[in-house]
Amino acid sequence: MDDIVKQAMAKWPNVPDCFGWLGLDERGQWFMRDDAAQAQGTFTSGRVEAKGSLLTHSKLIDFIARNYEADAQGRWYFQNGPQRVFIELQAAPWVWRLAADGSITSHTGRAANYLQCLLDETGRVYLSTDLGLGLVHSMDVNTVAQRVEAGDWSPQEALAAELPQRFSFVRSPQGL
């Protein structure tokens, strides 16, 4: 967590939490969800209007990545100074990118170590790692296939709806 964020938290300890305003999609992209977007439905509704505006400012994205954490309830948030901005997750708290050398990196740039490969009922591939559960980026599914064919990984079947409870994360903290 950034030092400036820690200082703001100490200076203003009672800032209310923020819900519904930031979403993470299946490709590891952040979306700002203003009142108009939220009025169109939930982040996971499938409605383009409900998703919000794609964040493209690299310094803001890097700031979010450095201050992205989970609380004890499995709700993921971005610590924005003294305020926690809870994240609407389209699939999982992490989106994994896979390199040819076998390394796994999150959408936030954090390195992870492989524990298990899961395949849901729709064909989406997840990896359980030392950081937690994440969805494999769609551009890296071929790399997963190569690891499976080489005998390195053996995907286990899983139901997408059961993953939050099984891996202790909350897709929509606004509802809690």
List per-residue pLDDT tens for the chain, 176 residues long.
Answer: 677 767 766 665 677 889 999 999 999 999 999 999 999 999 999 999 999 999 999 999 999 999 999 999 999 999 988 889 999 999 999 999 999 888 999 999 999 999 999 999 999 999 999 999 999 999 999 999 999 999 999 999 999 999 999 999 999 998 65
Number of domains in the chain: 2
Q: Are residues 72 and 7 in the same domain?
A: yes
Q: Are residues 85 and 104 in the same domain?
A: no
Q: Are residues 15 and 69 in the same domain?
A: yes
Domain with 110, as residue range(s), is 94-163
| Within a domain: 53 | yes
| Within a domain: 144 | yes
Instruction: Single out the residue in 61, 90, 119 at which a domain terminates.
Output: 90
Q: Are residues 66 and 80 in the same domain?
A: yes
Residues 6 or more apart in contact with residue 2 via CB below 8 angstroms: 63, 66, 67
Instruction: Single out the residue in 90, 107, 122 at which a domain terminates.
Output: 90
| Cβ(4)–Cβ(75) below 8 Å | no
